[in-house]
Structure 1
């Protein structure tokens, strides 16, 4: 009888022959856009953000939807509030929970106001009040400003969600650097609000090891959207002067958290169910492979779905097959976890 591995990988997803024509086309479009755009660290973060919203980069200006609303949540800092933007179901169905989302952008770019399309999709597809957090950005506000904002909002919604939104906090998610914040926030809630059980956590091409020492970030392979140099620049301004040992702190890099201990000490005995999604051409691929494996090793449910040849943030490009595929997987996973 052959020896069966305790861990398995679907190697088909890593073959070049598995990359479909639609994904290749998306990569070509992003390569051209990246070639024609300045890098944020060449012009400075504030100027680059302004260029994005003025339509002066090859990427479209994020739309603002009239049904999205703005509100504030108290910060741990006296006299300061945190902006959030939320969308409640507008299809006549009652919200049955809150989905808390942390946007990407390398801790430097992006805004809670960039997510209206996604918020609407989650609100109407899953009957959730979808909330995006306007956390503070580097370099103006380096670590721990951004993650403190995310934790503050999550704890507030855990305590006051039913009163504020007529629904409890049920799902947390994040993309790229927002995936880092989603992991850190979820694990912090397990410490400070142990009796609150999330139904699901959604991790989209997350950034879980800020040391940049995993192979796919070290190898400097050709990639679009982000590369090794850009990741280094993000870390330089998010955690200026931080040593590798500092970056390895589990309060910065969730990959180094003792997940087995957290699960063991939880009254539920496990971490919340998690869905990890990532493209195989993403420099952060190993982050997802390692983090999902550790999640499973804690005795908790984790599903990882890989997309052949897909670049970083591919899921944002609706209409391409690979983006539609990951949307379908997310829908199936959430429908299962949110079933009444």
Structure 2
């Protein structure tokens, strides 16, 4: 009998040749589109955020859904509050709360950038979805963002009943995936009692911000982000820091010893496309999660680039697929 490996991989899912028809063409169009207009580091992050809302950047202003509610919650700093945006399910009482943490390289976007996705989660999973507007770099560098996300999670652990129940899920995209993991680790460090968390939704997160993993250095055709842009984000988020300092698990959670949390890691859904510079981040972090005894469901989308879930399904078939996978995972945990 052949020797059985302790690790197995569904190799075809990692092959861009398995991508649905039109995906690679969409990648080419997206790459060309991103060449137009100014870059955030050319005009400044604050100006670029303003330009995005005015439809002056390659990516259009995100749609705003009127049923979203803006409100604020306390932070650890006296006199300062955290802006949030909330969606409750249209039908039925919420079963609990989902804390959403947006992406944007720690410098861009806000709690108001993903109304469609937040409403999808609220209506399909019957949960209250609250997206937190954490402080952004370069105005507020590390550790402002993780501190704000931890503050939001701590507040919802205590006051979740005001919004629909216990804090059951934490999740986000890209930098939001990173901050979701960092927030969860901090909760596990500071709470000895069991947490009510039923799962994490980690879409193409970045987990090594020290030097970045090999895929970021070797990918041939990155559509949304590339290595130079990633280093720009890094320098804004943690200016004047050494590589060793960037290996702090609060900054690069891939360096955390997950065995400290053995038996306590919440189930996690990891998603990523094969044409994403952060594919290795998802692969390695999910492997470490499982090695430490945590449940990790990993879904890989052939040909999909970074941020694919934020684009219309007519552009990326994987965008509808990932939403169905998220739905299946969350309903199973509920």
Pairwise same-fold verdict (TM > 0.5): yes
Deviation at 1:125, TM superposition (A): 0.3
Pairing of 1:276-291 with structure 2 (within 5 A)? 276-291=270-285
What TM-score, normalized to structure 1?
0.95
CA distance in 2, matches of 1:145, 1:82: 12
Query: Is contact 1:136-1:146 (8 Å) kept?
Result: yes
CA distance in 2, matches of 1:16, 1:195: 41
1:142 aligns with 2:147: no
Match of 1:266 in 2: none
Pairing of 1:43-192 with structure 2 (within 5 A)? 43-90=43-90, 92-162=91-161, 164-192=162-190
Match of 2:198 in 1: 199
> What secondary structure does 1:222 align onto?
coil
Query: Is contact 1:221-1:283 (8 Å) kept?
Result: no
For structure 2, the 5+ residue unaligned runs are none
CA distance in 1, matches of 2:235, 2:221: 21
Deviation at 1:24, TM superposition (A): 1.7
Aligned residue among 264, 278, 300 for 1:270: 264
Query: Is contact 1:197-1:272 (8 Å) kept?
Result: no
Query: Is contact 2:309-2:320 (8 Å) kept?
Result: yes
Deviation at 1:29, TM superposition (A): 2.6
Query: Is contact 2:146-2:250 (8 Å) kept?
Result: no
CA distance in 1, matches of 2:228, 2:208: 15
Query: Is contact 2:177-2:202 (8 Å) kept?
Result: yes
CA distance in 2, matches of 1:299, 1:154: 24
Deviation at 1:173, TM superposition (A): 0.1
1:303 aligns with 2:288: no
CA distance in 2, matches of 1:200, 1:75: 24
> What secondary structure does 1:136 align onto?
coil
What TM-score, normalized to structure 2?
0.96
Query: Is contact 1:270-1:298 (8 Å) kept?
Result: no
For structure 1, the 5+ residue unaligned runs are 264-268
CA distance in 1, matches of 2:241, 2:326: 35
Query: Is contact 1:212-1:218 (8 Å) kept?
Result: no
Query: Is contact 2:121-2:127 (8 Å) kept?
Result: yes
Query: Is contact 2:128-2:164 (8 Å) kept?
Result: no
1:219 aligns with 2:218: yes
Quickly say closer, same or farther: Cα 1:219–1:28, change in 2 above 3 A.
Answer: closer
CA distance in 2, matches of 1:15, 1:270: 33
Aligned residue among 299, 321, 325 for 1:325: 321
1:316 aligns with 2:310: yes
Detail structure 1 runs of 4+ shifted over 3 Å in the superposition. none
Deviation at 1:220, TM superposition (A): 5.3
> What secondary structure does 1:86 align onto?
strand
